Amino acid sequence: MESAPIPSSAAIEGSRGLISRLTDIAVFAGGLALFYGVITIAQTWAGPFRPAFAISLSPWSLPQYAAYSLMRLTIAYLLSLLFAILYGYIAAYNKPAERIMIPLLDILQSIPVLSFLPGVMLAMFALFPTHQVGVELGSILLIFTGQVWNLAFSFYASVKGIPRELREATRIYQFSPWQRFIQLDLPFAAIGLVWNSIMAVAGGWFFLMACEQFVLGSRDFRLPGLGSYLQTAAGAGDTRAILWGLAAMIGIVVLVDQLVWRTVLAWAHKFKFEQVESAPPPRSPLLALLRRSAPAVYLQRHFARPLGERLTARLAARWRTRPRAAGATPRARGLRWAVSALVLAVVLLGCFQGIRELAGIQRAEMLHVLAGAGATFLRVMAALALGLAWTVPVGVAIGMRPRLAKYAQPLAQIGASVPATALFPVVLLLLIRVGGGMGIASILLILLGTQWYILFNVIAGAMALPSDLQEAATIFRFSTYDRWRLLILPGIFPSLVTGLVTASGGAWNASVVAEYFRLKGHTFSITGLGAIISRATDAGNFRMLLAATIVMSIVVVGMHRLVWHRLYRLAHSRFKLES
């Protein structure tokens, strides 16, 4: 029996060369297709304004709608990432600002998307009254309000959790703020940012239906996209169109997971903080191909790396030679006072206008808002308790088992991305038949919109557990109970707190959709702040919308001061990872 011939080294090299050339062609073709898509969509946005865009439920329209939605999500995510890093950095390193910025962030993440809708859409429409770009920018900003808050909380919590010895090392070696940001803050926050980015984009998909098709009084702002397609199909009760839309959305989510998130997760694994050799990192075929791609290697070697090194060296030299003043210069103090005066003037003007708007509210209306706040609060707490019960064990299992994460991560991302509002008609009709009604259905919908924040943060916390601590637990033969009590729960606690805070904000946001729903010409609603906000938005009743939003903000601030602030202090003092 003859053995199979061994391929020669020349044949192996030829095969590798062919793969490399195909990779270069694929990278070039992908970049060209992306450039063409951006130009085409930009031309459409620069065109005249088209009110009440007619949404076709034909499956052949889905590729075009998917491209529009993906472009809006991408732009909103990039804006969210930049804002989150800047906001979290200032809050983490400026204690006076931190006292204001973190409660404010908690308020902003809890204000429903529809509460931002009137101001954002009217402002954008006033800036661009004759062009489609005004409504498009309004939609992008609304998606931004559904994505940015958990990213900002994640970056802030990661920077606050940096071990003391690493901070002292940056001071000893006289790192400039830019060097500390690039070489310590961003790497330490990378894993949490990646997982919260996945959740942010999934949250963008969740609120896409509200951000692409909405009515403000007599004005109909409707945009072509997957969200408006699913909203139109759900309103018409067209099950076939709903399934087509969900299939298109799931296909895009899986494609983005394989091409983007799997690649970014494999890249971010190198920033895991530990002192011994870790387990083998997750693999990404696309990342491996890009590392062998000649155009990508050339751009990284001749443009990205030299530019970064030159910028770092220049900023570091300027930081070391800059005189250390005892206080701020007169010019800096003047600028600070000018900015503070401008902010104060804007706040006072907003308070004056708000008081004028609320002056005409009736006592019965205010009591209705307060009753709605109590009902929504109970639903939010029930949804958080249900979400916490299953996400912690499942998230720890996924985060500590790379093989399980390989299959569970895309499934979790799909589950987080599928808008519950598209499935809500089926759930609602089923519960009405068995006697559950809107009471149970609203809690289920809030749960579907919030549980993923906890799950993804728990996964990130479990993945960031140092391998040396896990090995120590194995060496000392910890029981399952001791492993959870002494290693897992303390290790994931900061990430768990971040997940609970962002889930709480997402729950208040989801209440707008969960408590007020239209189906085949009928409106299903239940007592709650979300229903009040949705009803006020439909009717253009800004007085009730403002009153409900203010009450929601008060409840959120109370929760932050009484619960979340104390949990954050506990996470950063007792459960901080340092030697």
Residue 566 sits in a domain whose CATH number is 1.10.3720.10
Above pLDDT 90, what percent of the chain?
A: 6
Average pLDDT score over residue span 163-172 = 84
- Does residue 248 form part of some domain? yes
pLDDT per residue over 196-212, tens digit each?
888 788 777 767 766 77
**Rounded distance, CA 200 to CA 198, Å?**
5
**Rounded distance, CA 174 to CA 171, Å?**
5
- For residues 299 and 363, membership in a common domain is answered with no
Nearest partner of 272 among 92, 491, 473, judged by Cα: 491
Output the DSSP codes for 362-422: -HHHHHHHHHHHHHHHHHHHHHHHHHHHHHHHHHHHHHH-HHHHHHHHHHHHHHHHS-HHH
User: Dihedrals φ, ψ of 524, to 5°?
Assistant: -105, 125
Please report the pLDDT score of residue 1 as a whole number: 45
- For residues 418 and 454, membership in a common domain is answered with yes
Tokens (6 digits) for 235: 């309103």
- For residues 244 and 293, membership in a common domain is answered with no
Please report the pLDDT score of residue 389 as a whole number: 92
Q: Report residue 287's pLDDT band, with 50, 70 and 90 as the boundaries.
A: low
- Does residue 117 form part of some domain? yes
- For residues 232 and 363, membership in a common domain is answered with yes
- Does residue 31 form part of some domain? no
Most confident residue range from 98-112, 382-396, 412-426: 382-396
Tokens (6 digits) for 340: 């503070």
Q: Average the pLDDT over each of 330-344, 358-372, 546-560 and give the range with the smallest value.
A: 330-344
Question: Is 62 exposed, middle or buried, given 0-12, 13-18 or 19+ CB atoms closer than 10 A?
Answer: buried
- For residues 445 and 518, membership in a common domain is answered with yes
- Domain count for the chain, please give it: 2
- Does residue 56 form part of some domain? yes
Q: Report residue 64's pLDDT band, with 50, 70 and 90 as the boundaries.
A: confident
Please report the pLDDT score of residue 382 as a whole number: 92
Residue 390 burial (CB count, 10 A)? 13
pLDDT per residue over 456-512, tens digit each?
889 888 887 877 788 888 888 888 888 898 888 888 898 898 888 888 877 887 787
Tokens (6 digits) for 127: 């800036």
pLDDT per residue over 113-157, tens digit each?
656 666 676 677 677 767 777 778 888 888 888 788 888 888 988
**Rounded distance, CA 547 to CA 542, Å?**
8
Residue ranges of E strands in 171-263: 213-216, 219-222
- For residues 543 and 556, membership in a common domain is answered with yes
Above 90 in pLDDT, residue 340?
Answer: no
Q: Average the pLDDT over each of 90-99, 323-332, 457-466 and give the range with the smallest value.
A: 323-332
Show the domain range for 301: 284-318
- Does residue 425 form part of some domain? yes
**Rounded distance, CA 552 to CA 375, Å?**
12
- For residues 448 and 311, membership in a common domain is answered with no
- For residues 147 and 295, membership in a common domain is answered with no
- For residues 500 and 532, membership in a common domain is answered with yes
Q: Of the candidates 318, 343, 373, which is a domain's last residue?
A: 318
CA–centroid distance for 238 within its chain = 30
State the DSSP H helix or E strand holding residue 45, giving kind and residue range, or none if neither: helix 9-45
**Rounded distance, CA 424 to CA 428, Å?**
6
3-state secondary structure of 471: helix
- For residues 292 and 393, membership in a common domain is answered with no
Above 90 in pLDDT, residue 386?
Answer: yes
Q: Average the pLDDT over each of 7-21, 271-285, 482-496 and give the range with the smallest value.
A: 7-21
- For residues 67 and 172, membership in a common domain is answered with yes
